Structure 1
Amino acid sequence: MRIATMKQAIPLSYIVAAPVLIAGAWLWATGALELDTKKGEAGNTAAIAGETQDLENQVLPPEGIVLPIRWGSLGMQMMETGVVDEAKLNALYQDRGGLPEDMQKLLYSSDNQEVRMTYENSGVLLNLLWGFGLGNKNSILETGPMMDPRFNGAGNFASTGGWTLATGGAMDHYSKYAFIALTPEQQALVERVSKNIYRPCCGNSTYFPDCNHGMAMLGLLELMAANGVREDEMYRVALQVNSYWFPDTYLTIATYFAKQGVSWDAVSPKEALGNQYSSGSGYQRVRALVEPVKQQGGGSCGL
């Protein structure tokens, strides 16, 4: 017996709908993939931004740093001696919104128990320490590289010729006043540490304070030594201060160390401040190895 068979016809609606369903599935998958990709990119961007902010907070802590020094009435003494001319100083900062209250206190009060440096006031403290470093009597200024005969005197450097806030000329006050006196041991400490602290605006150490940053750092080292600060602590504070003065530089250096797997708090301050990283040539070497950070500014060698 022959069994009759009948081919079942596929409805036309199925034929039309199938490509549409396939195309829809493809579009959905593509859109979902694109959405996942965008989410991934956004997540990566947020992660990078978070890491950058964390690094910035380490290098430039927003709460600032308390300098381990005794400032006392030094601001008043510098104005009394003419190292700082009050009228010239006020004129300088009048165009910058005036001196902050805490900085005015350093000039007009003898009751200064704490000096806190932040990114915001680091420029004012740079100038105050510059004036102090220039006027305070110290053998580094009198017998060190600043007095090398080939320079025809110390008056032609940025740290001296650029100090226009004095009554008269800067050299009228150069290493003239015993604002603080160091013991032989403290002086030896300042000389030793100053030879190991560089600045990226030039190739010289603090022992050759030919610019404002060098002269200000010399003043800071003298104040720390007079206050009995240990050598390792002097380097730690100096690195933090240099970071506020040269934020882009030290954010870039910190980025370099991070790429080597070394966190900023694990970096040796003495090493970071040395010629290999903090001098002009040392920093250029670092810049060639990582993308330099350009967002904070700072680093000017003038008032």
Structure 2
Amino acid sequence: MANPISAKDIFQSVLIMLLGAAVAAAILNGSWRDRQIGGETIRKSGSQDISRSKTAESYVLPIEWGDLGAKMVSVGVIDYEKFMSLYPAASPARSEAERLLTQTDIGAIVISEDNANVLLNLLWGLGLGNRNPLLASGPMADPRYGGVGNFASTGGWTLSSGSAMNHYSMHPFVTLSPETQIIVERAARNIYRPCCDNSTLMPDCNHGMAMLGLLELMAAKGVSESEMYRAALAVNTFWFPDQYQTINAYIDSREGDTTRPDAKEILGKAYSSGSGYQKIAAMVDSAGRKSSGSCGV
């Protein structure tokens, strides 16, 4: 004879059913936002509650956006519907994405916590699609890597119309003189990101490709190299908030050293590369320290 079902068993069964229904509802209404694109974990804007202190609430980037967003949509580097689907309806990020993809007379852009992810994705598309010899014949083109389509910054770009490689270094969005190209490559060689050990000269992830796009825009406007580094550090701080909070804590804690490194030095390998950051993090109290800056859309 079967064992009788107890009241406890009934309660547990009902509880499991209710929890399952709650999870299903979360998935359907969009609050469950993590998904996979191109092998990377994607988190839509608004899916993370980041509690952090930062040195600035916003930073005015020394660039002119103009109609770049509309141009990228028109040639297919960015598929408008795919891009907009990343951001929740009525969110500040979605409004900013719509503005930067549709308006045609945008001047300087102010980066903040609200739009940092939008700008990361837009600049990623720009860096990938803009025609530049650094992409065509630089480290990315080294045959030992098995082809430029195998990197996170290329294979992971799924927001275009058609294949990302149909747009790789194909469009003359930002034209540089030989002199400004030299400045871009020199700055790129000195700018690292905490997610890996490559500089922007090797833009094999989204942050590197986006930084290349930003450097191209600044160089085209005639921005000085020192100002490029200041803007790049501000942008990296918004893209990797927790890592740079740790780096700043390390700099502030150095006893007997009253000289604070400048933006160029902080962006260098010793501080901002993946290995440099890990060494610094090991010297900083790790209580409550988190990581941020996923290399995905």
TM more than 0.5: yes
Tell me, yes or no, if the aligned pair for 2:54 and 2:245 is still in contact at 8 Å.
no
SS at match of 1:179: coil
Aligned-partner Cα distance in 2 for 1:159–1:298: 18
How many Å apart are 1:98 and its aligned residue? 7.3
The answer (yes or no) to whether the contact 2:93–2:115 under 8 Å persists in 1 is no
* Offset of residue 57 of structure 1: 3.6
Task: Report the Cα offset of residue 288 of structure 1.
Answer: 1.1
Q: Check 1:294–1:85 CA distance in 2 against 1; reply closer, same or farther (3 A cut).
A: farther
Separation of aligned partners in 2, 1:232 and 1:166: 33
Q: Does 1:164 align with 2:158?
A: yes
Q: How does 1:130-279 map to 2 (within 5 A)?
A: 130-260=124-254, 266-279=260-273
Other structure's SS at 2:283 match = coil
Contiguous gaps of at least 5 residues in structure 1: 1-52
Q: CA deviation digits over 1:186-208, x for unaligned, max 9?
A: 00000000000011111000000
Contact kept? 1:224, 1:234, Cα under 8 Å = yes
After TM superposition, give the deviation of residue 267 of structure 1 in Å.
2.8
Question: Which structure has the larger Rg over C-alpha atoms?
Answer: 1
Looking at structure 1, the residues matched to 292 and 90 of structure 2 have their Cα atoms a distance apart, in angstroms, of 15
Paired residues for 1:100-139 under 5 Å = 100-139=94-133
CA deviation profile, 1:219-265 (whole Å, cap 9, x unmatched): 0000000010001110011011001000111000000010115689x
Distance apart, 1:144 and its partner CA: 0.7
Amino acid at match of 1:145: P
Give the match for residue 89 of structure 1. Answer: 83
Please give the alpha-carbon distance, in whole angstroms, between the structure 2 residues aligned to 1:292 and 1:237.
28
> Residues 256 and 286 of structure 1 are in contact (CA less than 8 Å); yes or no, is this contact kept in structure 2?
yes
2:294 match: 300
Per mean C-alpha deviation after superposition, the further-off stretch among 172-181 and 252-261 is: 252-261
Question: Shift in Å at residue 101 of structure 1?
Answer: 2.5
Q: CA deviation at 1:95?
A: 7.2
Question: Which residue identity does 2:118 align to in structure 1?
Answer: V
Give, in whole Å, the separation in 2 of the partners of 1:98 and 1:118: 11
Shift of 1:297: 5.3
Q: What secondary structure is seen at the aligned counterpart in 2 of 1:201? A: coil
Shift of 1:298: 3.0
RMSD: 2.1
- Secondary structure (helix, strand or coil) at the match of 1:202 reads coil
The separation in 1 between residues aligned to 2:248 and 2:287, in whole angstroms, is: 10
Q: How far apart are the structure 2 equivalents of 1:134 and 1:155?
A: 11
Q: Distance in 1 between matches of 2:65 and 2:174?
A: 10
Of residues 43, 66, 91, the one that matches 1:72 is 66
Structure 2: segments with no counterpart, 5+ residues: 1-50
TM-score, length of structure 2 as denominator length: 0.78
SS for the counterpart of 1:195 is helix
Residues 92, 114 of structure 2: 8 Å contact kept: no
> TM-score, with normalisation over the residues of structure 1?
0.77
